[in-house]
Amino acid sequence: LKLAHQPAKIDHLVAGSAILAAICTAVDRVGYIREASFEILHKHCREKTSVPLTILHVFTHIAGEKMMSSSDHDISNAVLKSIVMFPEEKHFGTVEGNAKLHPGKNKCPYSDRSSSLEAMASMLMEFIQEFTQSNTLHQSLTEFRPEHKNFQLVMARDQSVPLCDILSLVELIGCYTDWTSENIVALLLKMLGMPLSVNFAVSVVSLLGQLSSIGVDADGCENKEISNLREKLSAFLQCETTLKAGFAVQIATLCSLLKTLQLDFSTVFRLKTAMLPGCGDQSLSASANLVTKWFSLLSDEQRVFTKLLLLNDSFVQKVIKI
């Protein structure tokens, strides 16, 4: 609901955050605060202002005890702490900056038992690998104990942390660190070479697309790492395993491939030339031509569905998250 046409003042944002946190804490719905925290971190990952961090510290000051003590969200809380500490130490690590974020306090509440983003990324990737190696993919991650920087993974069936949540946390970490990190992208690409269920393959290839968007936004589509990922996705789209896996895996791969091209589907589909105008990266044109060829091989019904799907980006995101 949009109540104003102008951005709110900082004082108003802080006051609104305090009211929201107080209400959610009073009615025992601190999960909304956690979700809001992750949403803020995702939307403002490129900002260097103290406003997002200030709001998050308002949340934890009011709802912190309930929010951080929930054993059902140990993994999410651990990632939240690590992500908050990263920009805080990077941009506000001075005495003056610390005093601005923590007036009257010497220690940030998010710093308690927090780990580096690299350690968290490695841990999450280990979790994802557990899914690939498990014969019962419905089993989920339920217990997380950071003890002396060593992480334990306990599998159980009675409670669950959905795989999609783990993948979302990996994407968020990618927003704050080097998305090309060997312990993320390389492992995801390796997983695509394993026998995976359709849903799992769609999830992995979609995460690669989201990570590539981070790289394209930061360095452009002709970046070396983006070019390499584009070639890998192009090869995956054409491999026999993907073709046999069915339409869902193919279209998820196509969506991720388009993110590395920085072109919308309608533009690529209209291309008739072997090279994109003003482009020196041959992998761009090769991948664009591959998309056109893939579309030409679809049935009429599949073409209509693909056009509707890819021309409506918000709908694509909903389908991918199902």
Q: Is the pLDDT of residue 22 over 90?
A: yes
What mean pLDDT do residues 179-186 have? 77
Q: How high is the pLDDT of residue 105?
A: 58
Domain count, the chain: 1
Domain containing 239: what range? 178-322
7 falls in which pLDDT band (50, 70, 90)? low
State yes or no: pLDDT of 124 exceeds 70: yes
Q: Does 130 map to a domain?
A: no
Does residue 305 lie in a domain region? yes
Residue 158 lies in a domain: no
Percentage of the chain beyond pLDDT 90 is: 13
Task: Say which range, 38-42, 177-181, 263-267, 297-301, has the weakest mean pLDDT.
Answer: 263-267
Domain membership flag for residue 239: yes
Residue 319 inside a domain? The answer is yes
Whether residue 210 is contained in a domain is answered as yes
- Examine the pLDDT at 19 and tell me if it is beyond 90: yes
Supply the pLDDT for residue 99.
62
| pLDDT of 269 higher than 70 | no
Q: How many CB atoms lie within 10 A of CB 3?
A: 5
Per the DSSP assignment, residues forming a β-bridge with 155 are 141
pLDDT band at 205 (very low <50, low <70, confident <90, very high): very high
Average pLDDT of the residues in 207-232: 86
Residue 153 confidence (pLDDT) above 60? no
**Which pLDDT score, from 0 to 100, does residue 232 have?**
92
SS3 141: strand
Residue 292 confidence (pLDDT) = 81
pTM, entire model:
0.78
Q: To the nearest whole number, what is the mean pLDDT of the chain?
A: 76
Is residue 94, in this structure, part of any structural domain at all?
A: no
Whether residue 217 has pLDDT greater than 80: yes
Neighbour count for residue 309 (Cβ, 10 Å): 16
Residue 26: CA count within 13 A, CB half-sphere? 6
| Residue 274, in any domain of the structure | yes
What pLDDT, on the 0 to 100 scale, is given for residue 147?
38
Q: For the residues 295-299, what does the mean pLDDT come to?
A: 83
Q: Find the mean pLDDT for residues 22-51.
A: 87
